[in-house]
Amino acid sequence: MTQARRHHDPEVKAFASDNYAGVHPEILEALALANGGHQIAYGDDVYTEALQEVFHRHFGPAAEVWPVFNGTGANVVGLRAMTSPWEAVVCAESAHINTDEGGAPEQSAGLKLMSVPTPDGKLTPELIDRQAWGFGDEHRAQPRVVSISQSTELGTLYTPAEITAVAAHCHELGMLLHLDGSRLINAAAALDVPLRALTTDAGVDVLSFGGTKSGLMFGEAIVVLEPSAVRGLIYLRKSSMQLASKMRFVSVQFEALLAGDLWLRNARNGNAMAARLAAAVRDVPGVTVTRAVEANAVFAVLPPEVAERLRKRFRFYTWNEATGEVRWMTAFDTSEADVDAFAAAIAEEMAGR
């Protein structure tokens, strides 16, 4: 008999990150389905083989999926496969690879990141040109890849037309386009477009596809849309410690997420709850929603002492210490009751300050 016991209250929700959420019940069912018996290790199992077809349906027949353990690994390994040691990656200053991956792109992959300040987290051809220069100059790291995030770290979305314009500009310069899609499903749901409209059809060469923020227990994926954009990925995944021995348990989760409409249901719920939260707090005196709510993130400013008291009831993070801006994230399992309780707590704490 198992000796494990529950150490937390499953009724308690937070608004700090969609990574806080548990595993979707349909994903747990899929894990149990793949259990039992023996399967070939390191990706030669039948679940990983079947997953290729699932990704073909969403991203086109040329797409090739490489399951990995986590988002940092997906970004680092994917970008490393797209670059040579003397080449660099252009990204927004706010990009996750630049601010929240502990220097992994530089430390683990030896990548030079060329960041660009942006007003809304989004790169444009004009902004890219601030760093995409010096081609052939032996004294300067050579710009090779542009990396964008969808949705961005500021909760904003690229439209298909905007990504197409960025991709076209990259390719005209002889560069490649990488997309960090840790919340790609939220963007597709919000824009009401298929996943390929924001990736394959728009000219993206390689993307990181998010899993854990979408209800998986663990696992992300590198998706190669243009085979000529990468080199040595099969070796880099292993040498970067991102090759799962029991890969069937990563692959079956993605199959459960993408074979039907689970990805869309999860994304729509997270987006809808963010919109509900923003609407509920906009009229609370002293609270200012600072950015457009386009996916599952709400940014707001409220007095620091109120934020501190609120955190004792609901966890969330301060985004900008200088301005007091905070970020509230919703997830696939955030309910209307969760949002309403949080909004009521905000109003109560603001009234009592």
Residues 311 and 237 in one domain: no
- Determine contact, residues 210/218, Cβ cutoff 8 Å: no
Domain-ending residue, one of 204, 225, 258:
258
Q: Are residues 85 and 176 in the same domain?
A: yes
Question: Identity (one letter) of the amino acid at 321?
Answer: E
In this prediction, residues 305-320 reach a mean pLDDT of 95
* Spatial separation of the C-alpha atoms in residues 90 and 99, rounded to whole Å: 14
For residue 6, being part of any structural domain is answered with no
What's the average model confidence in pLDDT over 264-268?
Answer: 98
Cα–Cα dist 298/278, whole Å: 6
- Rounded to 5, what percent of the chain is helix, strand, coil? 40, 15, 45
In angstroms, the first-to-last Cα distance of the chain is 51
Task: Answer whether residue 329 is part of any domain.
Answer: yes
Asked whether residue 277 is assigned to any structural domain, the reply reads: yes
Angle at 150 between CA 166 and CA 247, to 5 degrees: 115
**Whether residue 205 is found in the same domain as residue 318:** no
Return the pLDDT at 260.
Answer: 97
Confirm whether 3 is domain-assigned. Answer: no
Ramachandran angles phi, psi of 206, nearest 5°: -145, 145
Report the candidate in 147, 289, 119, 150 with the shortest Cα–Cα distance to residue 213. Answer: 150
Q: Is the pLDDT of residue 3 over 90?
A: no
For 89, the domain range is 38-258
Q: What is the CATH number of the domain that holds 251?
A: 3.40.640.10
Residue 16, domain member (yes or no): no
Q: What is the percent of the chain with per-residue pLDDT over 70, rounded to a whole number?
A: 99
Higher pLDDT, 295 or 108: 295
What distance lies between CA 164 and its chain's CA centroid? 19
The total domain count for the chain is 2
239 and 313 belong to one structural domain: no
pLDDT value for 191 = 98
CB 128 within 8 A of CB 169: yes
111-147 burial, b at 16+ Cβ within 10 Å, e below that, comes to bbbbbbebebbbbebebbeebbeeeeeeeebbbbbbb
Cα 338 to Cα 333: distance, rounded to the nearest angstrom:
9
Q: What is the mean pLDDT of residues 182-205?
A: 98
Considering the domain architecture, whether residues 282 and 198 belong to the same structural domain is answered as no
pLDDT tens sequence across 94-132: 999 999 999 999 999 899 999 999 999 999 999 999 999
234-254 mean pLDDT? 98
- Quick check: 288 pLDDT over 90? yes
In a domain, 180, yes or no: yes
**Confidence (pLDDT) at 353:** 62
- Do residue 64 and residue 179 come from a single domain? yes
**Mean model confidence pLDDT for the chain:** 97
Which residues are 320's β-sheet partners?
325
Surface-to-core class of residue 81, CB atoms within 10 Å of its CB (0-12 exposed, 13-18 middle, 19+ buried)? buried
Which of 169, 146, 66, 132 lies closest to 98, judged by CA?
146
44-93 per-position pLDDT tens digit: 999 999 999 999 999 999 999 999 999 999 999 999 999 999 999 999 99
Check pLDDT > 70 for residue 1.
Answer: no
pLDDT greater than 90 at residue 224: yes
Looking at residue 81, its pLDDT comes to: 98
Q: What are 89's two structure tokens?
A: 């990656």
